[in-house]
Chain A
């Protein structure tokens, strides 16, 4: 699947998330922390340009965010 302009889908492992909120701060259109559980979820289409996706992956302290490479 060609996502165009190097867009990649991101995913959150909710078991690892420690609720730091860095993903939501960096990419508010893609990540949202639940007000109650303080766990991050992907919202919308969950697509980011690869370089920005990698930045969020690297900044997440819990290493809960990954680039969900699509298997075809």
Chain B
């Protein structure tokens, strides 16, 4: 894509646009059309699905809108690359159902609640350090370490390796944009980048790390997710080597990157809307709605793509078999037809029907209840300490149309205004 993509007011995929935040004005124009817009992309294009109801339709009709064909990102993968990179995300039933059930148990609302005290202890420690230091980079000090420490604990990864896995994860985010800062042979990678998730050599490093853990848990199983997967493999529950390493990769990446994004945007929203934080402090019952509003506001994953399996119709638009169809959660979460005053951050918003975890179909974010727990507990611990946030730098945003990432943003704790 050339520089003209950034100035073309109908383009929503140019990664550099996202350095200034989601191009909401462009999405508003897409939502206002009665039909679906055909959005050119590379040598082809996709149907841009921007309204809440239409996103839900695509998400909840997986037989018509497949996750297993082509890719769930905007660009198609060649068949060998798709196979090598295939995870839970890029499958349809029955493969999706089989893989999902291998890890689903750990993430049910009932089982996630058991992690509350762990999450609370980590959040408390990070907030106390943030306050003691008088603030700093919120992403580095709070938003990144909280979710990564939690998911690594669940996986069974030692805490001393957390920094390394955060580093790898940061390179993966770069891989979702169009600029990589590391060479193809970084981390000793010799695999063709086409075959690696996000085309990133950091994926090779993450695969290697996951493989090391698999070997260790084979001989010395623990009560953790990796041991559970290794056990499923040995019991013949049909998880291949490739499926294991992609699952490990997915759990590490999705388990930290997305919640980090939610916590980063949440902090910015609370700093910009102190009256909303005051409402939460005055009425702790608002923690739940504030959590959902932060998730809607942040929309950590901005889109997912499907591919039509048959000729069909949506919003009066004919979709042909094989067409790419892209669900823009970032747009649906600001849909005026569903959310009253959608550009207002409202900690007490009653409507929780946001698509921060997908559009309501079978690929619902596996970690949805873990993410909710992490955000809610963080808010509770901030409230307990009467921490008010003051934003002291512009955010440095990810150059990506896929993850709504914040690389850094400075915050300072302050007394009540």
Contacts and interface: CB of A to CB of B under 8 A. Distances in A.
A16 B361 CA distance: 11
A18 B364 CA distance: 10
Given A61-B360, A61-B362, A61-B364, A18 B110 contact: no
B369 to A, nearest CB: 8
Interface stretch (A4-12, A19-27, A46-54): A19-27
Nearest to B361: A61
A62 B96 CA distance: 11
Interface string B103-116: 01101111100000
B60 interface: yes
Nearest to A25: B109
Interface in B85-139: 93-94, 96-97, 100-101, 104-105, 107-111
Contacts of B110: 21, 24-25, 33
Interface residues of A, number: 20
Interface residues of B, number: 21
A63 B60 contact: yes
A72 to B, nearest CB: 30
A15 B97 CA distance: 8
Contacts of B108: 19-21, 24-25, 33, 38
A39 interface: yes
A18 B109 contact: no
B109 A21 contact: yes
Contacts of B104: 18-21, 38
B105 A38 contact: yes
Contacts of A20: 104, 108, 364
A38 B101 CA distance: 6
Contacts of A38: 101, 104-105, 108
Contacts of B60: 63
B362 A62 contact: yes
A37 interface: yes
A69 B215 CA distance: 51
Q: Which of A18, A33, A35, A39 neighbours the largest number of chain B CB atoms within 10 Å of its CB?
A: A18
Contacts of A17: 97
Given A25-B110, A61-B362, A63-B60, A19 B105 contact: yes
Contacts of A35: 105
Contacts of A58: 360
Contacts of A63: 60, 361-362
A16 B101 contact: no
Contacts of B360: 58-59, 61
Contacts of B109: 21-22, 24-25
Interface string B336-379: 00000000000000000000001011111000010000000000
15 contacts: A16-B97, A18-B96, A18-B101, A18-B362, A18-B364, A19-B105, A21-B104, A21-B111, A24-B108, A33-B110, A38-B104, A38-B108, A61-B360, A61-B364, A63-B361
Interface of B: 60, 93-94, 96-97, 100-101, 104-105, 107-111, 358, 360-364, 369
